[in-house]
Protein backbone atom coordinates (compact mmCIF):
# COMPACT_ATOMS: atom_id res chain seq x y z
CA UNK A 1 0.00 0.00 0.00
CA UNK A 2 1.15 3.52 -0.70
CA UNK A 3 2.15 5.30 2.48
CA UNK A 4 1.09 8.65 3.89
CA UNK A 5 3.02 11.01 6.13
CA UNK A 6 1.30 13.35 8.58
CA UNK A 7 2.53 15.52 11.44
CA UNK A 8 2.10 13.82 14.80
CA UNK A 9 0.14 16.68 16.29
CA UNK A 10 -1.18 20.15 15.59
CA UNK A 11 -2.81 22.90 17.56
CA UNK A 12 -5.36 25.43 16.50
CA UNK A 13 -7.50 28.05 18.11
CA UNK A 14 -11.23 27.64 18.30
CA UNK A 15 -13.21 29.28 15.48
CA UNK A 16 -10.16 29.52 13.24
CA UNK A 17 -9.49 27.50 10.09
CA UNK A 18 -7.30 24.42 10.35
CA UNK A 19 -5.16 23.01 7.56
CA UNK A 20 -4.07 19.41 8.13
CA UNK A 21 -1.36 18.32 5.65
CA UNK A 22 -0.69 14.87 4.27
CA UNK A 23 2.12 13.73 2.00
CA UNK A 24 1.66 10.72 -0.23
CA UNK A 25 4.50 10.91 -2.73
CA UNK A 26 4.13 7.27 -3.89
CA UNK A 27 0.43 7.55 -4.68
CA UNK A 28 -0.67 5.65 -7.77
CA UNK A 29 -3.08 6.86 -10.39
CA UNK A 30 -6.03 4.89 -9.08
CA UNK A 31 -5.58 5.63 -5.36
CA UNK A 32 -8.34 7.57 -3.68
CA UNK A 33 -7.38 9.92 -0.85
CA UNK A 34 -9.57 9.42 2.20
CA UNK A 35 -9.71 11.23 5.51
CA UNK A 36 -11.17 9.78 8.67
CA UNK A 37 -11.14 11.09 12.19
CA UNK A 38 -11.41 9.45 15.56
CA UNK A 39 -12.96 11.41 18.37
CA UNK A 40 -12.03 10.41 21.92
CA UNK A 41 -13.48 7.04 22.96
CA UNK A 42 -15.19 6.51 19.61
CA UNK A 43 -14.61 4.53 16.44
CA UNK A 44 -13.27 6.38 13.41
CA UNK A 45 -15.69 8.31 11.26
CA UNK A 46 -15.49 9.25 7.61
CA UNK A 47 -14.69 12.87 6.82
CA UNK A 48 -14.10 13.24 3.10
CA UNK A 49 -12.41 11.65 0.10
CA UNK A 50 -11.29 12.58 -3.39
CA UNK A 51 -9.32 11.45 -6.40
CA UNK A 52 -8.01 14.48 -8.30
CA UNK A 53 -10.29 17.46 -7.83
CA UNK A 54 -10.83 19.43 -4.65
CA UNK A 55 -13.88 18.31 -2.69
CA UNK A 56 -16.21 20.01 -0.26
CA UNK A 57 -18.80 18.63 2.11
CA UNK A 58 -20.54 19.78 5.25
CA UNK A 59 -17.65 18.68 7.46
CA UNK A 60 -14.58 19.82 5.60
CA UNK A 61 -12.81 20.54 2.34
CA UNK A 62 -10.11 18.48 0.70
CA UNK A 63 -7.48 20.23 -1.38
CA UNK A 64 -5.44 17.90 -3.59
CA UNK A 65 -2.18 19.01 -5.14
CA UNK A 66 -2.00 18.96 -8.90
CA UNK A 67 0.60 16.17 -8.86
CA UNK A 68 -1.49 14.35 -6.19
CA UNK A 69 1.57 13.85 -4.02
CA UNK A 70 0.04 15.78 -1.17
CA UNK A 71 -3.32 16.88 0.11
CA UNK A 72 -4.72 19.12 2.80
CA UNK A 73 -7.81 18.66 4.91
CA UNK A 74 -9.36 22.00 5.73
CA UNK A 75 -11.68 22.56 8.65
CA UNK A 76 -13.08 25.99 7.96
CA UNK A 77 -13.95 26.93 11.51
CA UNK A 78 -12.67 24.60 14.17
CA UNK A 79 -14.70 23.92 17.29
CA UNK A 80 -13.73 22.08 20.45
CA UNK A 81 -15.66 19.08 19.09
CA UNK A 82 -13.17 18.81 16.23
CA UNK A 83 -10.42 17.73 18.60
CA UNK A 84 -9.56 14.27 17.34
CA UNK A 85 -6.97 12.16 15.56
CA UNK A 86 -7.21 12.73 11.81
CA UNK A 87 -6.09 9.96 9.47
CA UNK A 88 -5.11 10.46 5.85
CA UNK A 89 -5.48 7.16 4.02
CA UNK A 90 -4.97 5.93 0.48
CA UNK A 91 -7.34 3.30 -0.83
CA UNK A 92 -5.88 1.63 -3.87
CA UNK A 93 -7.71 0.49 -6.93
CA UNK A 94 -6.66 -3.15 -6.51
CA UNK A 95 -7.17 -3.82 -2.80
CA UNK A 96 -9.38 -0.83 -2.17
CA UNK A 97 -11.68 -2.75 0.08
CA UNK A 98 -9.51 -2.54 3.16
CA UNK A 99 -8.32 0.56 4.97
CA UNK A 100 -4.81 0.61 6.41
CA UNK A 101 -4.39 3.30 9.06
CA UNK A 102 -1.22 5.28 9.64
CA UNK A 103 -0.45 7.16 12.82
CA UNK A 104 -2.56 10.19 12.02
CA UNK A 105 -2.41 13.76 13.34
CA UNK A 106 -3.73 14.53 16.79
CA UNK A 107 -5.50 17.89 16.54
CA UNK A 108 -5.78 19.97 19.69
CA UNK A 109 -8.24 22.85 19.72
CA UNK A 110 -7.52 25.69 22.11
CA UNK A 111 -10.49 27.59 23.52
Partner 1 sequence: SAVISQKPSRDICQRGTSLTIQCQVDSQVTMMFWYRQQPGQSLTLIATANQGSEATYESGFVIDKFPISRPNLTFSTLTVSNMSPEDSSIYLCSVDGLTSGSHSTQYFGPGTRLTVL
Q: What is the contact surface with partner 1 in residues (CB under 8 A)? A: 30-32, 36, 42-46, 49, 51, 85, 87, 91-93, 96-104
The CA distances from residue 85 to 37, 93, 94, in Å, are 5, 25, 27
CB of 14 to partner 1, least distance (A): 25
CB of 43 to partner 1, least distance (A): 3
Give 42 or 53: the residue with its C-beta nearer to partner 1. Answer: 42
CB of 103 to partner 1, least distance (A): 5
The CA distances from residue 46 to 28, 60, 78, 80, 111, in Å, are 22, 11, 17, 18, 25
DSSP state of 30: T
Amino acid sequence: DAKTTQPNSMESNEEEPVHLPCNHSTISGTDYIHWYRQLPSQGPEYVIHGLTSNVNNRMASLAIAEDRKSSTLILHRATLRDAAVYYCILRDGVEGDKIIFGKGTRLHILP
